[in-house]
Amino acid sequence: MNDFLKNFFTLNPQNKVSAYFAFIFGFSSIILTISVGIPQLVSLLKTKKTPKGVNFYTFWIFFTGVVGWAFIGSWDPNPAKMAAAAYANMVSAFIFSFTIFFSYKYSETTKIRKKAWLSLVISLFISGVITALAIWGIVEKKQMNKHLFDVCIVLFPMLTTLSFFPVALKSLEQKRFTGMSKGMLYTLLFINVAWLLYWISLAFNRNGLDSGIITSITWQTAALLIYLSQVILLIKNEHDDKKQTKIKI
């Protein structure tokens, strides 16, 4: 494993086994994080219709969490920065900006459709500013105040974790999965599995837990449970729908 990969994933080369596991899960996490908005984006472009039950506040909260992760990873005051998380979320923010844009553009409500271009300008501007700050933080080895980090490491993971929680609760109450495409749901599920395994592997690799890793594992576990409940509901809905179709036939 070369020096670039060791630095990118903040690995301790002395612990080779855990380093390779952390690299595999970290690389998988990056690919999934970058592509988190793509399934929803493809669905929107294909159907030209925003799914029923979409909560736009939810998308903006999730987007805030994504750019927040880019900031946390790049300005981490710990000796080893969370660079992998930073770079992945930088790219993800730009892609998710277009997911938000087309969600507005293909809404059934005229009032919402009129806000499409404004949503794109705002989200791309925020993504650009955060990316510039993040790259500066990594290249110049900047570090945020420890107290600020303690707040950010709780706040932003909480936003990405709980952003879809209201939608999940509504789906469970109605016993019908809504609010996003199936592809996006499965991507979110696999993202949390991959990141959770990465943080655990990283803890073994570093021979210990710091505040960043502990908080990340906690929120990642919570998010995993939320999305897992939605996957179970989706599978149940599809099974029930097939039964209904057979009965009609």
Residue 69 has pLDDT above 70, yes or no: yes
Give me the pLDDT at residue 244, please: 80
Domain ranges of the chain: 3-248
Query: pLDDT band at 106, cuts 50/70/90?
Result: very high
Give me the pLDDT at residue 126, please: 97
Q: What average pLDDT score do residues 159-177 get? A: 84
Greater pLDDT, 230 or 8: 230
Residue 90 has pLDDT above 80, yes or no: yes
Residue 15 has pLDDT above 90, yes or no: no
Q: Which of 22, 132, 40, 19 is nearest to 86 (CA)?
A: 132
d(CA 47, CA 182): 14
Q: What is the DSSP string of 151-182?
A: HHHHHHHHHHHHTTHHHHHHHHHHTS--SS-H
Residue 63 has pLDDT above 90, yes or no: yes
Element (H, E) at 32: helix 16-34
Query: pLDDT band at 19, cuts 50/70/90?
Result: confident
pLDDT single digits (tens) 22-52: 888 888 888 888 888 898 899 899 999 998 7
Give me the pLDDT at residue 101, please: 97
Sign of the Cα torsion 161, 92, 97, 180 reads negative
pTM for this structure? 0.80
